[in-house]
Amino acid sequence: MANNLSAPHFHNEEKAFAYVEERLWPNGPVCPHCGGVERISKMQGQSTRMGLYKCYQCRKPFTVRMGTLFESSKVKLNVWLMAMYLIAGSKKGISSNQLARTLGLTVKTAWFLSHRIREAMREGGFDLFGHGGGAVEVDETYIGRKAGKAVPKGGWGHKMKVLGLVDRNSGKSRFFHVDGGKEIQGIVLEDLSREARLMTDEHVMYRRVGREFAEHSAVHHYEKEYVRGDVTTNTIEGAFSIFKRGMRGVYQHCAEKHLHRYLAEFEFRYSHREKVGCNDAERADKMLKGIVGKRLTYQACV
Ligand SMILES: [Zn+2]
């Protein structure tokens, strides 16, 4: 994407169609009904819907929005692109209220838009972290408040628990909304290569799981030890602090059922941040690729 909001595809719907078609159909239009790529014509004429094609193999009409998260939304494609660009570029996220004001939408529409975009940001990579013996930092944090839970005198029982992993070599992160230790151990075993050098704090739940890996080193936070050689969890804690600042400042009222989408948003931005060589425009284009093939109905969203 162009590097600022003055680019024409943010302001002109026809340009927006061309922009999306170029990226989703690099080799020309593909019929979403039958998968055909031949005998497809662009429909012309004043009363024709924008971006409409007809497939003469299955005789059905389609646009580039069909079969993607853009489908069945009345919001203009250029507005979608602008929303994606804004979300991709704001380090701490952008609230639905702010998005509504900036784009001239109702808050409800802005909310649906941003939830769909978050869905597009869910990457769910299956490559193992720490492949080839790299360091992987693992840590947990607590956020918000579970519905109906009173604030206890001590402990974190009323909060939502988030597990984070950072692969130090690739700079990528993964965030999970988790219940407890067993689930954490399961994720660590599933997402890390056995060659990995696992780095955690001294929490007892990492001990047994740590034996499965080439190395497990823990920093002793209780003794105020944060770095020992290259053993540290400072990277994942830095990622958490961006997430928490965003959640506190922008998304104050995050229901537990939506937490995974916010986590996906922060994970995506973190994994494609400037430091790993990804600018706002490239990040937004990556997001666009995530739009393909993901459908999210309004019902599934509420
Ligand atoms: Zn077809």
- DSSP assignment of the chain equals --SSTTSGGGT-HHHHHHHHHHHH-TTS---TTT---SSEEE--STTSPTT-EEETTTTEEE-TTTTBTTTT--S-HHHHHHHHHHHHH-TT---HHHHHHHHT--HHHHHHHHHHHHHHT-----SPBTTTT-EEEEEEEEES--TTPPPPSSSSTTSEEEEEEEETTT--EEEEEE-SHHHHHHHHHHHB-TT-EEEEES-THHHHHHTTSSEEEEE-GGGT--EETTEE-HHHHHHHHHHHHHHHHT-----GGGHHHHHHHHHHHHHT-GGGT--HHHHHHHHHHHHBT----HHHH-
Cα 68 to middle of ligand 1, angstroms: 16
pLDDT for the residue numbered 104: 94
| Residue predicted with more confidence, 299 or 284 | 284
Cα 31 to middle of ligand 1, angstroms: 5
Ligand 1 is a single-atom ion; what residues have CB below 5 A from it? 31, 33-34, 36, 55, 57-58
Q: Over the chain, what is the mean pLDDT? A: 88
pLDDT in tens, 213-253: 999 999 998 889 999 999 999 999 999 999 998 888 777 77
Decide if pLDDT at 272 tops 80: yes
pLDDT in tens, 72-113: 788 999 999 999 999 988 888 898 899 999 999 999 999 889
pLDDT for the residue numbered 294: 64
Decide if pLDDT at 156 tops 80: no
Decide if pLDDT at 162 tops 70: yes
pLDDT for the residue numbered 282: 87
Cα 56 to middle of ligand 1, angstroms: 7
Mean pLDDT across 59-69 = 90
Mean pLDDT across 274-296 = 79
Model confidence at 289, pLDDT cuts 50, 70, 90, reads confident
Model confidence at 125, pLDDT cuts 50, 70, 90, reads low
Q: What's this model's pTM, rounded to 2 decimal places? A: 0.80
Cα 1 to middle of ligand 1, angstroms: 29
Cα 61 to middle of ligand 1, angstroms: 8
Cα 53 to middle of ligand 1, angstroms: 10
Among residues of the chain, what percentage have pLDDT more than 90? 55
pLDDT for the residue numbered 248: 82
pLDDT for the residue numbered 189: 94
Cα 45 to middle of ligand 1, angstroms: 21
Mean pLDDT across 151-161 = 79
Mean pLDDT across 159-164 = 92
pLDDT for the residue numbered 261: 87
pLDDT for the residue numbered 227: 92
Model confidence at 279, pLDDT cuts 50, 70, 90, reads confident
Cα 301 to middle of ligand 1, angstroms: 30
